[in-house]
Amino acid sequence: HALRTAEKSLLPGYHPFEWKPPLKNVSSNTEVGIIDGLSGLQRLVDDYPVDTIAKRFRYDAALVSALMDMEEDILEGLKSHDLDDYLKGPFTVVIKESCDGMGDVSEKHGCGPAVPEKAVRYSFTVMTITVTHGNESIRIFEENKPNSELCCKPLCLMLADESDHETFTTILSPLVAERKAMKNSELVLDMGGIPRNFNFIFRGTGYDEKLVREVEGLEASGSTYICTLCDATRLEASQNLVLHSITRSHAENLERYEVWRSNPYHETVDELRDRVKGVSAKPFIETVPSVDALHCDIGNAAEFYKIFQFEIGEVYKNSDAPKEERKRWQSMLDKHLRKKMNLKPVTRMNGNFSRRLMSKETVEAVCELIKSEDRHEALRELMDLYLKMKPVWRSSCPSKECPELLCQYSFNSQRFAELQLYWHSSSG
């Protein structure tokens, strides 16, 4: 028995730990590796059939493994702040959760099992670790590159389409349950020969808009309710590009789903939909309202791409141009961008295309197709404002990395919105 225990402790990746209080509905066995993503599901006769392959780690075991990989950083962080390296804590760990579709992963040749051709990956990143010392909370670790693949730990991989709501929610439900249990418990883990206490804060910020809508029960992106952060409709958003605040939350979405499901006021479908502001399914993962930098780039680039076309076709003179005419403007723009900027229309609208489109060089190239000098100046100003705002949402810590641009951001964004309104009103 003693030899077996010694062998376990020497095995790479095996770290004994416990939870106080024990996690509800989670095994106390700490010797767990990769497990079948379909295990532990309650199968009922009328359940949705889950016919796919999924592999995952148990959430708590994956967190322990990540912390033990960071043991040196944690102990070094204690020393650098003149804290005793035998400090037991409690340590507070902030976890960023991410989930994204991986696109087409189909087997092009061979005769593997018939499975869905798309995959979804759920992962996490340790963002910060703080420790309470006296009345102070001291940060002993901060991830310098939070968007890097190197610090992103995979938790679950499933061969499924992220749009397949039933499969997606069924496979992730055990992870969500484990996460919920860990929020109300404290991890006790041996580190540096001393048992230390860890609490976890989970922040679901690594989701794109499509997945936020999926997991928070919102209508798809074509919905009248255009925003995942507030209740604005498309019409309201086009009339007011400045004064918005983040109002949506997971708790509110759950309440609205109950109203949608039970219709307590006996309203018509349209009245009910207006009351719940586009919530039409049960939210099952808590996300933190946010917009990731990549989709800021893509969203802005898509808007500029449209503006470039409107300027080429002089829509401000004639807003009733037929569809064929508008296609001709797009074709002219695509050919010119390929020739001048080596931007291929086939890659529209991915991240690289968006980043390269949004440059002063692109505006100068597009101006060659536009006759009015006044419109040239307005386009240049719009792009200049965009390039001043972009570092604020691309940086990990704007107050440290670009403090001047952060101070100017409010003014720049209002001027940017005014120019956008100018284009919306002049393009009909």
Higher pLDDT, 335 or 420: 335
Tokens 């796919």 appear where?
52
* Lowest mean per-residue pLDDT among 161-165, 268-272, 302-306: 161-165
377-386 confidence digits (pLDDT tens): 999 999 999 9
Q: Give the pLDDT band (50/70/90) at residue 185.
A: very high
Q: Give the pLDDT band (50/70/90) at residue 331.
A: very high
The mean pLDDT value for 288-311 works out to 84
Q: What is the predicted pLDDT for the residue at 5?
A: 58
**One-letter amino acid for residue 134 of the chain:** G
- Could you give the percent of the chain with pLDDT greater than 90? 49
- Please classify residue 386 by burial: count the beta carbons closer than 10 Å to its beta carbon, then call 0-12 exposed, 13-18 middle and 19+ buried: buried
The mean pLDDT value for 351-369 works out to 92
The backbone torsions φ and ψ at residue 123, rounded to the nearest 5 degrees and listed phi first, read: -145, 175
241-285 confidence digits (pLDDT tens): 666 788 899 999 999 999 999 999 999 999 999 999 999 999 999
For the entire predicted model, the pTM comes to: 0.77
- Domain boundaries, given as residue ranges, for the chain: 14-207, 220-276, 293-426
Q: Give the pLDDT band (50/70/90) at residue 10.
A: very low
The mean pLDDT value for 14-39 works out to 85
